[in-house]
Amino acid sequence: MTTLAPPAVRVSKSTAAPGGGRGGSLIWFTVPALLIFTAFGIVPLLGVLALSFTTWDNIGPIQPSGLDSWTAALRDPDLLNSLWVTFLIMGLSWLVQTPMSVLLGVFLAAHFRYRGLLAVLYFVPLLLSSSAIAITYKALLDPNFGAGAQLGVPFLNQDWLGDPVLAVGLLVFIVSWQYIPFHTLIYQGAVRAIPQSMYEASLIDGAGRIRQFFSITLPQLRYTIVTSSTLMVVGSLTLFDLIWVLTAGGPGRATEALAVAMYKTGFQANLMGPASAIAVILVLVGLTLSQILRRLGGGRGDESQQEGV
């Protein structure tokens, strides 16, 4: 894509005045996208807020009920559990994924035989549906009929989904298994963009491998770490498919993250009002966290967004 824009054109593009007059007829081009996006994106976003101030049992009429659904949702002790589970999974998978992706990204940025092949194979988990991944691990780790039982390896042969701690651990592992490849690719690209002169200069100063990693590579990757962390955080916030197929929130409520709690409250207990309140909380937590991460990133994400606009 960069080949499409030779430098000379870039210059003329930035100096040319924006054509304000012709916009009128072009607006029609946005109408189909706008209509469907509004109907199934914007309206539902406002709708979920509106529904959180109603009660609806999924069959009868929708009744305005003030703050009833909110008090019901907030008084439910399970909400606190869901928040805790969500943050636990988010924190643990960040702790696992970030160092692994950075190290693998640095590794993949080097030139060696089979590098291309590795990059291709690493990507495979991202192609699979969460449902397929969850089912595979469930079968593989089944305490009675899985690999662990057959091989007689005590570590594998545990009741992974029956124990609260093990279930959370397994979930974190599977999330990492699925998404480390993606973050590795992001870091690989970022490592390659680090100016070589920095390493050359550090060599003259006598810096070793490890010193170079901590003094050059890691600081240079800080914006990438923010981007990648934002994607990880927002991703774990909306984790649903994997949990639903793997544990359905169990054992007990050990893996009942916010999205799972919302689904169970709404579509199983038929309490659409409180479920909508949980959904609003989900959106608010997501927005807050991504704002915090953006601040940490020093506003660079903001600039590049603006450039895109």
Binding of other proteins by 304 (CB under 8 A)? yes
From the list 66-74, 77-85, 87-95, 284-292, the region that binds other proteins by CB under 8 A is 284-292
- Please give the backbone phi and psi of residue 54, each rounded to the nearest 5 degrees, phi first: -130, 170
Q: Whole-angstrom Cα distance, residue 66 to residue 78?
A: 22
Q: How far is the CB of 152 from other proteins (least distance, A)?
A: 11
Binding of other proteins by 90 (CB under 8 A)? no
Binding of other proteins by 48 (CB under 8 A)? yes
Q: How far is the CB of 104 from other proteins (least distance, A)?
A: 6
For residue 141, which amino acid is it? L
Closest by CA to 88, choosing from 304, 257, 268, is: 257
From the list 8-16, 64-72, 74-82, 83-91, the region that binds other proteins by CB under 8 A is 8-16
Site for other proteins in 232-251 (CB under 8 A): 234, 237-238, 240-241, 244-245
Q: Whole-angstrom Cα distance, residue 49 to residue 71?
A: 14
From the list 71-79, 84-92, 105-113, 161-169, the region that binds other proteins by CB under 8 A is 105-113
Q: How far is the CB of 110 from other proteins (least distance, A)?
A: 5
Question: CB-hemisphere CA count at 13 Å for 294?
Answer: 13
Question: CB-hemisphere CA count at 13 Å for 54?
Answer: 17
- Nearer Cβ to other proteins (80/287): 287
Q: Which residue has the tokens 């590049």?
A: 304
Q: Residue 251, preceding bond cis, omega within 30 degrees?
A: yes
Give yes or no for a contact between 136 and 129, defined as CB atoms under 8 angstroms apart: no
Binding mask 250-269 for other proteins (x = CB under 8 A): ---------x--xx--xx--
Binding of other proteins by 189 (CB under 8 A)? yes
- Count of residues engaged in binding other proteins, rule: CB under 8 A: 117
Binding of other proteins by 165 (CB under 8 A)? no
Burial class (CB in 10 A: 0-12, 13-18, 19+), 9: exposed
- Nearer Cβ to other proteins (144/206): 144
Give yes or no for a contact between 254 and 166, defined as CB atoms under 8 angstroms apart: no
Q: How far is the CB of 55 from other proteins (least distance, A)?
A: 13
Q: How far is the CB of 8 from other proteins (least distance, A)?
A: 9
Binding of other proteins by 138 (CB under 8 A)? yes
> Cβ–Cβ contacts within 10 Å for residue 129, how many?
11
